[in-house]
Amino acid sequence: MLCLSNHAPICALADLEVILENGLWANVWTARSAAKLLLKVAEAQQSDLLPLIDDAFHHWQEHEEPYPKRGGAIPESPRADLAKARLAIEGPDYDRAKVHLSDQRSDVSDVGKSALVQLIEAEDDAFVSFIADIEDNKLDAAILSFVLGKLESLSARKVGWVVSLLDHGREEVRFAAMAILDRKYLDADEIRKHLTAMRADSSEDIRDRALSRQIG
Tens-place pLDDT, residues 60-86: 999 999 888 777 888 999 999 999 999
State residue 171's pLDDT score: 97
- In this model, does residue 11 exceed pLDDT 80? no
What is the percent of the chain where pLDDT is above 70? Answer: 93
Determine the average pLDDT of the residues in 125-129: 94
- pTM equals 0.84
pLDDT of residue 7: 47
pLDDT value for 46? 86
Q: What pLDDT is recorded for position 17? A: 84
Report H helices in 44-202: 50-63, 79-90, 94-101, 106-122, 124-135, 142-150, 156-164, 171-177, 188-198
Would you state the pLDDT for residue 211? Answer: 95
